[in-house]
Structure 1
Amino acid sequence: MAVRLVDWCWRHALAVVVASLAVTAALGWYAAAHLSLDTDESKLISSDLPFRKVEKTIDQAFAHATDRLAVVIDGPTAELAEDAVERLARALPAAHKGIVHGAARPAEEMYFRKNGLLFLSPAELEQIVERLVQAQPLLGSIAKDPSLRGLLASVDLVLQGISHGQAAPKDIEPLLAQLDKPAAAIAAGRTPEPVDWQGLMSGGPAKDAPRRFLMVHGPLDYGALEPAADLIGAVHATARDLGLVPEKGYRVRITGSLALADANFATVAEGVEISAPLSFLAVVALLFWGVRSARVVAAIIISLIVGLVGTAAFATAAVGSLNPISVAFAVMFVGIAVDFGIQFVTAYRNERFLKDDPRAALRGAAASMAAPLTLAAIATAVGFLSFMPTDYTGVSQLGLIAGCGMIIALVIDFTLLPALLALLRPLPEKEPVGLRLQGADAALRRHARPIVLAGCAVGLAGAALLPLMPLDFDPLHLQDPKAEAVATFMDLAKEPDNGVYHLATLAPSVEAARALADKLSDLPEVHRAMTVTTFIPEGQDEKLAMIGDVAMVLGPTLNPARVLPAPSPDELVAAIGKLAGQLEAIAPDHPPSRVLAGHLKAIAAKGPRAAAEYQNAAAAGLPALLSGLRRSLEAEAVSLDTLPAEMKREWIATDGHRTRVQILPKFDVQDEEQRRRFIAAVSAVAPEIAGAPISMEEAGRVVIRAFAIAGLGALAAIGLLLWLMVRRVLDSVLVLAPLVLGALATVIGARLAGIPLNFANVIALPLLLGIGVAFNIYFVVNWRNGVTDHLSSPTTRAVLFSALTTGSAFGSLAVSPHLGTASMGMLLFLSLSITVASTFVVLPAIFHLIGKPK
């Protein structure tokens, strides 16, 4: 049937090519118009698994908390970071209507900024109260005039007190030191650092880090490669417009699940832009080297393009939307389908050397390749389809598309490819097609036994190392660590209180959540267990009385009836010069005063520009400082009923009963052993938990299970297929034995190369089985047909160049900046190399030990 089909396509070559191109154009239009991309990573693992159901339940209970960007703003000081986040929160929705739906600070943070004093011990609170009262004159002056002019006026007021003997110069040395740092820098022509007002007020290092968070949400386009790209772009553009740039001491970064997913796909796309041209050039160059005919290369390339379009059309009809893994079907198709084309063309070239008639040569090629090529295509398809029964839906979709693509490639190789060869009429061969490896064949015959024994030893070593195969199912380890979202996430992960690796569960009520949190807090693996009652402080009455007293004293001071307008540049210069003169006049023998006076005089001499720079460094944080103080002195008695609504919304579900419990790990959960300890300890108390550690652990198990099911299933199915088609148990064993050896040797190679098994490269095993089956079948068929010099046969040439082209397609992935793609390319290239070595060396050695077939 194959011979007749090929012959018919030869005789009607023009009609076959025109019809094929017309159908390809129609299928290409169909695929382009209807094939979409779904970049939602949550769909890569089956939603029917228990841990996914728990995730879904929690997400539905707190739906508003999903699909948000986390914007991290680092400022020069806490006050300037506070000012920056407030400005960014106001500007974002106004500047990007339709893109940014909302920008809000975390409810817990805003709650603590108002009620944080209630969570201090009475002793700590008393110290803060005393310092605030002592700073009343300074605070009163800058409250009336929150500028450098008001600040310097307050210092002038203190100096007047010193002149009347009410204080000593040493009493204001901390204040003078803070003012002198930026003054000295500006006087020397350097960039100044802002004044740390919080450190000055607290009498020590600032406890409030100069970092703020903003949660941003907006519409997402999951049909695009980067669904949140517009949202992320809006944040960065607004930050630049507001001057929140590194040159001014700010750093605005974006992370969170959305940003991480976008960074992942952006890096994948960047890798494709690098690897795709490399792969194409390498494949074309190797084809030219292997077949030595531009016409033959053109026939193979056209066949590949037609097959790829047909496979894309099948994907459109079968799944409609590609996931982040199944988009790799194109690379897989080209890498493997090129093997089929090379095998057919090599057989044709060999027949063309032996026969003058090209039509007869083509019929001979069809007769020789019908069985092995069909068997190889079906076996490769089985290798891909073996992932379909697994819960790893991302790869199962890839398996379906690529598996059916193998059948499409087979059909094209027996229809379009012969027609193209008929039209292009490649020149006849002038020399045999095989490789000149007769010496290698002789060496294999002489050393067949030790080669087979060595292969068995390698297989046993690989089997022993199989349980120790390195595993890494942290999705972050697949991404470029330099990407903003990844680097920011890892930065936040260093501090346990940021909770990026927390676990969460739901309790039926607030009381049950409190009791569960108490149990979980007692676990040695738990850093902290939090629920809504965590935000209700103890001993409120005593602390509220202290806060009320200082509020009565400072309230009028912090809220003056009239605030002066901003000073002009000339007024700033005058204020700087005036304070310099006062320092020299009142404290001429006080070194800090004398030094500051000199620096202030230098700034005044430089004029308004230097004065404005000093204003930004010394006084820009004053409004935020005053605002924070006013807010903290407004603390009120807190109970569950009086908690802010936005706070309750983060911890109590929409049904008003179910309450979230958040558990933070004490150890580094990126370490596999510590992660498992943490999960085991928490799940013993609360079985239904979700979170990043659970996802990493359970998704890893899904992948391992998929790996095992696909590998064993592919072996069993391919073995059965071989037996049904060749009806010889020995032939089936001969095809499968090098495969098993190649797989076990790959384990050794992966260990030596330090390549762990991860979400991306797990497809290597079934792919290895499919490719290896194709290679081995060609050799077994040759052996059955009486071939004894296997390495010098045309089949070896075809397999070699097929392996080189496939290896170049896979190897090009290794240069991708996306670590997952790179690891997939490296493992595929490694496994392919070992498989080819097994086919070229071990399999012929086995043939020589067995002898001639019956």
Structure 2
Amino acid sequence: MSDSTHKTPRFALAYARMLVRRPGLVILAILALTGVSLWGTSKLTINSNQLDLISQDLPEVKDVKRVIDMVGGSGYLMLALRGEDEPTLKKAADDIAAGLLADKENVRFITYKVPVEFVQQQMGLFVKTEDLAEGKRRIMAYLKDQLRRNNPFFIEIQKTEPVKLEMQDLVDKYSSVGKKSIRDDYYISKDRKMLLILIKPMWDSNQLAKTKVYVEKLRKDLAAYSKSEKANGVEVVEDYAKMGDKKLVAYGFTGSYKTAVDDSYAIEESLEPVSLLAFAAIFLITILAFRKIVPTLIVSIGTVLGTIITMGFTYITVGELNMITSILGALLLGFGIDYGLHFIFRTRLELGQGKPYDQAIQDAVVNAGRPALVSAVVTSGSFFVLLVSEFRGFSQFGFLAGCGTFIIGVLLFAWSPALLALAGRINPELPKKLIGEMKPPATQSATTGKELRIPKPGLTLAISTVVVGILCFFAVPWSDVDVPTDKPASFADRIKAGIRFNYNSRALIPEGQTSVRLQDEISERFDMSADPIAVYSRTLEEAKAIYDELENPEKRKTKYSAIDQVVSIYTFVPPPETAAANAKILQEWQEELKDIDVAALPPEVQDKAALFMKMLEARPYDVHGVPEIYASQFRHLPETKPENHGYLTFIYPSVDLWDGKKMLTFVDQTNNIPTPEVKDAQGHVIAEAQVRRAAGAAQLFARLARIVLGDGQLTVMLVTLWILVMHFLDFRNVKLALASVIPLTVGLAMMLGLMTMFDLHLNFMNIIILPILLGFGVSHGLYLLHRFLEGTSPVVALRSVGAAVASSTLTTAAGFAALMVASHNGLKSMGIVACIGLITTLVVSFTVLAAVMQVMWDRLPRKVQDGVAHTPSPSPSKKDESEAA
């Protein structure tokens, strides 16, 4: 602790003097800036288009934009109708569909039934030749027996049982194309109790605001339909549990459009109660810390003003908020108030030394200002590290949070001292009455006269080392065993696995989210997976190459194991070899049956005989024979840009895409689809060999997941390096720099160990808390060590700034703790992890760091201790004042 430690920086002294001499001007400037910022804040909007948050140069984004241009959007808004009575369901679906199609402003097209007559008639060309032959054998045996028995001259000497026509095994095998049944035009479930209407809005699924408004419009339209004569007494109600009957149809919304809205707006709708609760908790903790209302109002109002200025800065620099930066205000309230707390506590300490108000304010700005400035720089820099993220949601958040932290820090070290200086102008005793005072902490025991010290620092360090070691032991993964994160693990499994990352994004959404529950029900009733992804091809030949590659039976078992089904225009084209062989059988069969009189068959058979005879007429056809109603589903829209003209092949996953690991597997498999070179009959190349990549929401989420995981690791390393460098530049001493980061490093290590013990996991949302905690955690060591380096013993340092450190930590923890009331589980997990990290760093500050400071103090020469133990906080000398002037 050299003399250089006590030298007052000229700039800090000049700044402090300006605040004391021109408080009115400072306050007016702040209020004027707040007024302008309030105007900018009122202009801020939230951009809900999540696609804008990812770099537009990424291939995944370009691919998705092409698909959106070709088909009008990614996925569908699904309207599911549920009821026990099939005719009622179909009547309601027809009426609702007519209303949807009339809404040209919002609806591009709908799909709720597709004529299946063509597929039924051509099905004989698709079945395996051996199955067709077996079907022919069974049907002919049945027909011959029926004709024989219906002959009026039929006489049976020895009674025999009629031949039974058992075709169910073959019918089930070939009763659908993909997962769409060919028995019914409607998209109706196998149990006939749920019917789907797939709506393609005029915008894409990432434009959440438009989807939200449209869903509300649909609710009103459906309510109006229930009251209309067209409904014929049938009530249509939104319900995700009822089944319905002849007079009731229950409906619900799901699909990529609705799930995206529900997830994003669950965050937004949580912000208001979270922000109010956070502000209330912060205000209460501040009152308890000061035990006075006036200092609480000073720092609270200053923090609110700083937040408004930050929002105005956001409007000027970025122009809008997104779904990530929308939580900025609530976060800054908890972070920003810390600077006001430290200033007020330090001013009370200076007033307690008997200094006049102006000198006390000036010294508080100088002495508390340096660690506050370093803390603001380091914390802001920790946020700025997020600028390296490819995800614009994180990079914009890092930029705005970093600037906001610095803005609020500077403002509170201007607003608070200026207000107190203005009060002192009115009455020199008023600042002391308003905020109180703190007498200098005693350095010696009143009973023994001995110097107060941290008891047994060596033992404290030894015990702390053991505790931290045990917790670190818990956090380290000791086994490669993949322990499930969707259910509680045993304590032994937790120890083996260490800190785990939960890839299941379903764990982040609100409990019981209706759109997800309905999607699960649809998957079960229709045996249908989530919305598909798509592979683009310029020509039909390329589409055929893609289809052949993905439908290869051997490759589906190994290379494409995560694919459930592939639907292409070629799904409706029978394989040429099979079609040729089957056509021969059908032709022969038709010849055998030409003399059969349908009227001679039993009545129950006659109804199906006409369709059956049509099926026998099926002859091979190529892709150009596919009816337009089917082909149009795979071809670009008329309004598509010329460069995006072509065809799409749709791929459905066989895995749960909510599970991040399985989603990444599915995306990896569909991002590497090799197709061979295709030549025409003359040997000309009509489709080049290439590796094709699918496009869709899964690809975007997979890229985002990898960005988050990569950025989480990168930002932690960069923030750690930034903190170490800044602490060294501040203290110019390796030992002091390392000592100052003890609360941070040890606290976070303990946090990870506690998370393992209590079966808490890192995930795609709370991983961003790690660099934030690193940035905030620096303040503990900075304030304590700077006070210690002013020439006070560890006990005095703790008693001087310990209350401020504890209060600032608790206010920040309160801000994050408010997230625990959010309905969104991702926000809850952020709050839990942040609170654990903040509390552990605070505990370490008052134990491990305090013991380290005591050891450092004990190693100083006795004469140095005696010389500084009773030295008051230094005031600027006359020489300093003249130089600053």
Q: Same fold (TM over 0.5)?
A: yes
TM value normalised by structure 2: 0.71
Asked whether the equivalents of residues 365 and 417 of structure 2 are also in contact (C-alpha less than 8 Å), the reply is no
- 8 Å contact kept, 2:73–2:204: no
**Aligned equivalents of 1:634 and 1:253: distance in 2?**
42
Once the two structures are superposed, residues 94-145 of structure 1 have per-residue CA deviations (whole angstroms, 9 ceiling, x without a partner) of: 4x674x3345215xx51447634644766889999999xxxxxxxxxxxxxx
- One-letter amino acid of the structure 1 residue matched with residue 842 of structure 2: V
> Could you tell me which residue of structure 1 aligns to residue 566 of structure 2?
529
Q: Which runs of 5+ in 2 are unaligned?
A: 1-10, 143-181, 227-235, 424-429, 446-451, 480-496, 675-691, 861-885
Aligned to 1:305: 304
Residue 790 of structure 1, CA deviation: 6.2
Question: How much does 1:16 deviate?
Answer: 2.2
404 and 66 in structure 1: CA distance in 2 versus 1, 3 angstrom threshold: same
Quote how far apart the aligned CAs of 1:269 are.
2.9
Query: 1:746 touches 1:831 (CA, 8 Å); kept in 2?
Result: yes
Displacement after TM superposition at 1:365 (Å): 0.8
Per-residue deviation, residues 758-781 of structure 1 (Å, max 9, x unmatched): 332222111101111111111221
C-alpha deviation, 1:676, in angstroms: 4.8
Which residue of structure 2 lines up, in the alignment, with residue 593 of structure 1?
Answer: none
CA contact (8 A) 2:68 2:204 kept: no
1:816 is displaced (CA, Å) by: 0.3
Say if 1:441 and 1:791, in contact at 8 Å, map to a contact too. no
Quote the offset at 1:795 in angstroms.
Answer: 1.1
- How far apart are 1:410 and its partner, in Å? 2.1
Say if 1:206 and 1:722 are closer, same or farther in 2 by CA, change over 3 A: closer
Aligned to 1:72, the other structure's residue is in SS state strand
Q: Which amino acid aligns with 2:786?
A: V
CA pair 853-407 structure 1, distance change in 2 beyond 3 A:
farther
DSSP 3-state at the match of 1:789 = helix
The 1:229/1:739 distance shift into structure 2, 3 A limit, reads: same
Q: Which residue of 1 aligns with 2:462?
A: 449
Return 796-805 or 471-480, whichever deviates more: 471-480
Aligned to 2:843: 837
Bigger mean CA deviation after superposition, 789-798 or 351-360: 789-798
2:793 matched to 1:783?
A: no
Deviation track 1:383-437 (CA, whole Å, cap 9, x = no partner) reads 1111101112211111100101111112212211211223454444365487999
CA distance in 1, matches of 2:453, 2:758: 29
Cα deviation digits, residues 631-689 of structure 1 (max 9, x gap) = x9999987522434453333234669743233333344444554455445444545523
Contact 2:533 2:651 in 1 (8 A): yes
Change (3 A) 1:762 1:830: same
- 1:19 is aligned, of 29, 38, 44, to 29
Is 1:335 paired with 2:334?
yes
**Alpha-carbon offset, residue 370 of structure 1:** 1.9
Flag the 1:640–1:454 CA change in 2: closer, same or farther, 3 A: same
Kindly provide the CA deviation profile for residues 326-370 of structure 1, in whole angstroms up to 9, marking residues without a partner as x.
Answer: 111112211111111111111111112222522121112112112
1:29 aligns with 2:39: yes
1:92 counterpart = 2:129? no
- Cα distance in structure 2, aligned partners of 1:82 and 1:548: 38
The code of the aligned residue for 1:733 comes to L
Task: Name the amino acid aligned to 1:48.
Answer: D
5 Å-filtered alignment, 1:462-481, equals 462-464=475-477, 469-481=499-511
Q: 2-side partners of 1:666 and 1:496: how far apart? A: 14
SS at match of 2:455: helix
The answer to whether 1:513 aligns with 2:521 is: no
8 A Cα contact 2:47 2:322, kept in partner? yes
CA distance in 2, matches of 1:65, 1:264: 19
Q: Residue 816 of structure 1: which of 819, 822, 825 is its match?
A: 822
Cα 1:844–1:455, aligned 2, differ >3 Å: closer, same or farther? farther
For residues 788-812 of structure 1, the C-alpha deviation after alignment (integer angstroms, 9 at most, x for no partner) is 2167422110011111111111000
User: Do the aligned residues in 1 keep the contact of 2:500 with 2:761 (CA within 8 Å)?
Assistant: yes
1:400 aligned partner, one-letter code = F
Distance 1:304 1:32, change over 3 A: same
How far apart, in 2, do the equivalents of 1:232 and 1:824 lie?
Answer: 30
TM-superposition CA deviations, 1:505-545 (whole Å, max 9, x none): 23454334334333333222133223211123575964998
Q: What is the CA-CA distance between 1:842 and the residue it aligns to?
A: 1.9
In the other structure, the counterpart of 2:483 is: none
The correspondence of residues 486-635 of structure 1 with structure 2, limited to 5 A, is 486-494=516-524, 498-500=528-530, 502-521=532-551, 522=553, 523-524=556-557, 525=561, 526-537=563-574, 542=586
Q: Aligned partners of 2:474, 2:382: CA distance in 1, in Å?
A: 24
How big is each residue's C-alpha offset from its partner over 1:226-261, in whole Å with a ceiling of 9 and x where there is no partner?
332221012222222333225644222222232222
Partner of 1:723: 728
* Partner-residue secondary structure (3-state), 2:566: strand
Partner of 2:390: 391
Give RMSD over aligned pairs: 4.2
After TM superposition, give the deviation of residue 499 of structure 1 in Å. Answer: 3.6
Q: 1:650 to 1:9 in 2, by over 3 A?
A: same
In the TM superposition, residue 272 of structure 1 has moved relative to its aligned partner by 1.7
Q: Any conservation in 1 of the 2:332–2:404 contact (CA below 8 Å)?
A: yes
Q: 1:272 to 1:666 in 2, by over 3 A?
A: closer
Counting only pairs closer than 5 Å after superposition, residues 131-146 of structure 1 correspond to structure 2 as none
The correspondence for 2:78, drawn from 50, 65, 70, is 70
| Structure 1: distance between partners of 2:278 and 2:140 | 69
Q: Normalized against structure 1, the TM-score is what?
A: 0.74
Q: What is the SS of the residue equivalent to 2:844?
A: helix
Match of 1:804 among 804, 810, 814: 810
For residue 297 of structure 1, report the CA deviation from its aligned partner.
1.0
Q: C-alpha separation between the residues in 1 aligned to 2:45 and 2:36?
A: 17
Alpha-carbon distance in structure 1 between the residues aligned to 2:812 and 2:784:
18
Q: Tell me the SS of whatever aligns to 1:414.
A: helix
Q: Is the 8 A contact 1:14 1:419 kept in 2?
A: yes
Point out where structure 1 has 5 or more consecutive residues left out of the alignment: 132-197, 558-624
Q: Say if 2:83 and 2:193, in contact at 8 Å, map to a contact too.
A: no
SS at match of 1:391: coil
2-structure distance, mates of 1:796, 1:228: 51
> Which has the bigger relative contact order, CA under 8 A and spacing at least 6?
1
> Quick one: percent identity of the two aligned structures?
21
Mapped partners of 1:381, 1:206: distance in 2: 58
2:799, 2:386 → 1: CA distance?
35
- How far the C-alpha of 1:719 sits from its partner, in A, is 1.6
Equivalent of residue 55 in structure 1, options 60, 64, 67? 64
SS in 2 for 1:650: helix
Equivalent residue of 2:454, what SS?
helix
2:407 is the counterpart of 1:408: yes
Of 515, 528, 553, 1:485 maps to 515
CA shift for structure 1 position 445: 5.8
Describe the shift of the 1:782–1:340 C-alpha distance in structure 2 as closer, same or farther (beyond 3 A): same
CA deviation digits over 1:800-827, x for unaligned, max 9? 1111111111000111001111111111
State whether structure 2 residue 748 is matched by structure 1 residue 743: yes
Mapped to 2, the partners of 1:639 and 1:220 lie a distance apart of 33
Higher helix share: 1
CA–CA distance in 1 between the matches of 2:47 and 2:397?
13
Q: How far has the Cα of 1:495 moved from its partner?
A: 6.7
Q: CA-to-partner distance for each residue in 1:479-500, whole Å, 9 max, x for gaps? A: 2242332322333344785341
Tell me what 2:53 maps to. Answer: 44
Q: Which residue of 2 aligns with 1:618?
A: none
